[in-house]
Amino acid sequence: MAKKPKWEPADRKKLLKMIKDGMTEQVIRDQLAGKGQTMTSSEFAQQLKIAMVESGAIKQASKTATKPKPTTYGVTKTGRLTISDFGEKTGLRAGSKFTLEKPRGRSKSWRLDPS
């Protein structure tokens, strides 16, 4: 048999109304505990958030932002790096020259420095 939820939507509506009336958290928790159950401060915060979502006061946004896919660059047989969008990303023009530096210290990243 399924267990009955401790806090129902009617309780949450009552909680939201009490808050709008300006009652303090402790008074609200004591009044809602009159049903033979206690309400902790974390439970109060959770029920308040659920009540605000149910009433439409706040909206829960779904995770829509996705991480952009990393661009993969290739190295030719002669050891040249092919970066097709290098000019777009750096703002540099054709003919710019760079030197390739080894990683320093613990870093494993190679550096391109303008020469």
What average pLDDT score do residues 70-94 get? 81
pLDDT at 3 over 80: no
Give the whole-angstrom CA distance, residue 18 versus residue 95: 70
Task: For residue range 23-70, list pLDDT tens digits in order.
Answer: 888 888 888 776 667 778 888 888 899 899 888 888 877 777 788 888
% residues pLDDT > 70 (the chain): 92
Q: How many helices (H) and strands (E) does the chain have?
A: 4, 4
Q: Is the pTM of the predicted complex or chain greater than 0.85? A: no
In the chain, domain spans: 9-55, 74-114
pLDDT at 109 over 70: yes
Q: Which residue do the tokens 């002669």 mark? A: 78
Structure tokens at 25: 């958290």
Which secondary structure element, helix H or strand E, spans residue 104, and what is its range?
none
Instruction: Judge contact between 22 and 57, C-beta under 8 A.
Output: no
